[in-house]
Chains A and B, each alone.
Chain A
């Protein structure tokens, strides 16, 4: 069975500071990892994904994520946070054994204060 953990319900950062939203995963095969963002009362928007290759993945709006196989982690990062980055962030995992299904974490609320 595959699973995702987002250990922090809430992350608070000041505008201009770097931000990190944590994600760890468990899968039986090769992991395919995704980050999505959700604004209030809206659907999710895709930010970035790791499939294979370079462990550092760059995505939309200046976000990046680092895949760490030994720590089974895929943390989302941004060098300089904006107030407009405030939203709910979801990590998701898929693997070949469950190709039709994504498993999502419970989400982390990011608040960026001016």
Chain B
């Protein structure tokens, strides 16, 4: 079954902790993205990767880090520098980085600071 898998579905973080959200795709897509969704707001881009071993900051990259060592994997680390990390995080991929390709989304990870 092809698709994007995000894990865990729910994640709780204590103040000062780093946490890593997993995103794996078996669609053979080149481009991958991380978005943050807050209530009443659209999706905001955190980081994106157009090809393996390369990634760029999105609009709200502060307090986050990523890696793209394998084509199928794009993990996101929420660091202690992110002051308000409670949100719904969505990973997506597309066939390529070009503007004509639609995105395929995972089911999301809901992160809560406790």
Contacts and interface: CB of A to CB of B under 8 A. Distances in A.
Contacts of B97: 99-100
A99 B43 contact: no
Interface residues of A, number: 26
Contact of B42 (A42, A43, A90): A90
Contacts of B103: 34, 36, 44, 46, 102
Interface in B82-96: 88, 90, 92
Contacts of B106: 43
B50 A42 contact: no
Interface residues of B, number: 30
A113 B59 CA distance: 37
B77 interface: no
B110 interface: yes
Contacts of A106: 40-42
B42 A100 contact: no
A20 B92 CA distance: 27
Interface in A37-71: 41-46, 49, 51
A44 B98 contact: no
Contact of A90 (B4, B43, B45, B99): B43
A84 B64 CA distance: 36
B31 interface: yes
B42 A96 contact: no
Interface of B: 4, 6, 31, 33, 35, 40-43, 45, 48, 50, 56, 58-59, 88, 90, 92, 97-100, 102-108, 110
Interface of A: 4, 9, 32, 34, 36, 41-46, 49, 51, 90, 94-96, 98-102, 104-107
Which 10 residue pairs of A and B lie closest in terms of their CB atoms, listed nearest first? A43-B105, A94-B99, A104-B42, A104-B43, A46-B102, A106-B42, A32-B99, A44-B105, A99-B99, A43-B107
